[in-house]
Amino acid sequence: MKATKFARKGVAHEREHWGRNEMAESLYARLGGYDAISAVCDDLLARMNADPQLARFWKNRGKDGVRREKQLIINFLSASAGGPIHYVGRDMKLSHEGMGIDESDWRIFVGCLNTTLDKFNVPEPERAQVVGFIDSTKPNIVE
């Protein structure tokens, strides 16, 4: 599956970050919708779990907890990119508080993200919007 198309958040702030224009096709649609975003998340989470430094965040999580977390990530990204999904999870600051995510973890995560976006041949305009949005969440994630 080629994820050249990617996520709707019911909050105007996130729509601005994704560069959504009400008259233009949403980033969610341009990235390929739910199935493409789900495939990208599957690949990204597997990549992060395989990294020796990042794997610690899932070390003692049960399968059901990991599945729930993955679904929340898919929903968050889908909603934030203008898709028809309603994200009901916690905000990024509360979700990541106390996890001890540092600058080194963030750099590895961004590397994993870029490798995944390469794998799915995400075009540059959409890639720039995705990376820009993810970068905007950093102050709420890195401690």
Answer whether residue 12 shows pLDDT above 80: no
12-141 CATH pick, 1.10.10.10, 1.25.40.10, 1.10.3720.10, 1.10.490.10: 1.10.490.10
- Residue 1 pLDDT > 60: no
Task: Express each pLDDT in 78-120 by its tens digit.
Answer: 999 999 999 999 999 999 999 999 999 999 999 999 999 999 9
What is the residue extent of each domain of the chain?
A: 12-141
What is this structure's pTM? 0.80
Between vectors from CA 70 to CA 64 and to CA 73, what angle results, nearest 5°? Answer: 145
Nearest to 81 by CA among 140, 30, 137: 30
Q: What percent of the chain has pLDDT over 90?
A: 78
Tens of pLDDT, residues 35-89: 999 999 999 999 999 999 999 998 888 999 999 999 999 999 999 999 999 999 9
HSE-CB at 137 with a 13 A cutoff on CA atoms is: 23
